[in-house]
Amino acid sequence: MTNYRYLQNIFENNNKKNQRAINYKAYMNYTLGFFKSISNVSNKTIIVDSSKNPQRALNLSLNPNIELVLIHLVRDSRGVVWSNMKKERKSLGSIKAYILTNLRSEIVYKKTISKKIRIRYEDFVSDSTKIFEKIGEASGIELQSLSEKAINDDLKVNGHILAGNRMAYNSDIKIKQDQNWKHRMPYNDRFLTTILTYPFLKKYGYI
């Protein structure tokens, strides 16, 4: 894992200093081996990678031994910035991160020839059944059972300790809307976020 993390830092964080063809081949092999190990241990053929790194998504799409389905999940920038502000992060830094991440995501989305779909967080929360159907159609995976469980608030997962927020450790998942930013986000921060991320708000149908 140490070698893999080293290669991840090079090829997923744009560390161009040590990017060589031999290293990239090793990175691709480590990635494939990593997923095979997860598949063997879990006895599952479908693995969800929620690392949210656009460069990693591009690398996965270039691995001939991995059948990738790219899901680009977007959210209203003001909701994202407000969520980060609650963690005592400054709004300007969160805005910058949102812009850079989504710019890179757009580039990767256009470059990727794998199966792909873009969905909005708000649509998923308000009508998870419809979104599960769309994901199923795009991926060729039957998700009817998940859709039914979402309707009945009966989604359960096996927690992991690799990474992620506290949701990763909970077995029960409740899908609910979080629109607190509309009522609690300070006007100045809301205005600044709207102005600076306007192109994304328009592209994703928020304005």
| Residues 21-35: tens digit of each pLDDT | 678 889 999 999 999
Q: Average pLDDT for residues 134-140, to the nearest whole number?
A: 87
Q: How many domains does the chain have?
A: 2
Same domain, 71 and 152: yes
Domain edge (last residue) among 13, 28, 47: 47
Mean pLDDT value of segment 70-79: 95
pTM above 0.75, yes or no: yes
Per-residue confidence band for 128, with pLDDT thresholds at 50, 70 and 90: confident
User: Is residue 165 scored above 70 in pLDDT?
Assistant: no
Residues 117 and 199 in one domain: yes
52-67 mean pLDDT: 90
Helix (H, G, I), strand (E, B) or coil at 69: strand
Q: Are residues 7 and 25 both part of a single domain?
A: yes
The span from the CA of 102 to the CA of 51, in Å, is 14
Nearest alpha carbon to residue 115 among 75, 66, 47, 150: 66
Mean pLDDT of 164-186: 71
175 and 191 housed in the same domain: yes
Question: Where in the sequence is the domain holding 168, given as residue range(s)?
Answer: 49-203
Whether residues 102 and 177 share a domain: the answer is yes
User: How does the average pLDDT of the chain come out, rounded?
Assistant: 85
